[in-house]
């Protein structure tokens, strides 16, 4: 499994050489929620109830989100499922076509300064081409660097691999091959074989 993961990681990081949408880091963060509690002294904002954070093409959703800000103005957010659906993130990749990366887990820590997401407990990260999943990784912990388009998966939420703790899973879909073109129809006229004209027989005498 380790060899499979390494080869697949190389496939994801080298084959596409694509990064997260570069323009996202320059966009404002828009947050929708049911309730918010703000501590301006500690620079902590606690959002609860169907929280949706949007920054450019980056969309993060969770039942609860705790957002802090450092003196430089960079945001750090922890999203938790709170017993409901998993916390999720989705972001367009800076690549040709309709390519996306998305993930889910019971908890997601996002570092806005280095654009690193850490997913804890029942973590999944998948790459999509439009709506088609091209590959997916599942493990207890996954870290995803959107700048370098690189992730690492471990079998424990501590962020390390513990022998015997469990195994991860990676699924790589086959590359879609274009359909073979239909044979071209000939525009040449179809030859009609010559047929002799019917012979007219004389009427018998007396007829």
Task: Write out pLDDT tens, residues 111-123.
Answer: 999 999 999 999 9
Average pLDDT over residues 139-147: 91
| 76 contacts 69 by C-beta, under 8 angstroms | yes
The set of residues, in sequence order, having a beta carbon less than 8 Å from that of 107 and lying 6+ positions away, is 78, 79, 80, 81, 87, 119, 120, 121
| pLDDT > 70: percent of the chain | 75
**Tens of pLDDT, residues 74-85:** 899 999 999 999
The pTM (predicted TM-score) of the whole model is 0.73
Going along the chain from its start, the domains and CATH numbers come out as 2-172 (2.60.450.10)
- Chain centroid, CA 57 distance in Å: 12
Q: What are 44-50's contacts with CB under 8 Å, separation 24+?
A: 44/68
| 122 contacts 139 by C-beta, under 8 angstroms | no
Q: DSSP secondary-structure letter at 21?
A: -
Which three-class secondary structure state does DSSP give residue 9?
helix
């Amino acid at each position: 499994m380790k060899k499979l993961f390494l080869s697949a990681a190389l496939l994801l990081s080298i084959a596409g050489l694509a990064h997260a949408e570069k323009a996202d880091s320059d966009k404002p963060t828009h947050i929708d929620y049911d309730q918010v509690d703000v501590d301006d002294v500690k620079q902590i904002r606690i959002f609860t109830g169907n929280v949706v954070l949007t920054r450019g093409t980056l969309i993060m959703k969770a039942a609860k989100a705790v957002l802090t800000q450092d003196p430089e103005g960079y945001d750090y957010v922890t999203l938790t499922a709170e017993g409901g659906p998993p916390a999720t993130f989705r972001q367009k990749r800076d690549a040709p076509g309709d390519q996306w990366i998305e993930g889910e887990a019971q908890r997601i820590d996002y570092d806005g300064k280095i654009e690193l997401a850490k997913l804890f407990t029942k973590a999944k990260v998948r790459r999509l081409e439009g709506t088609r999943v091209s590959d997916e990784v599942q493990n207890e912990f996954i870290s995803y660097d959107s700048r370098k388009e690189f992730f690492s998966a471990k079998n424990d939420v501590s962020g390390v691999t513990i022998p015997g703790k469990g195994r991860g899973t990676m699924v790589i879909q086959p590359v879609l091959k274009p359909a073979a073109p239909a044979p071209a129809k000939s525009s040449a006229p179809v030859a009609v074989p010559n047929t002799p004209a019917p012979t007219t027989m004389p009427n018998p005498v007396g007829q």
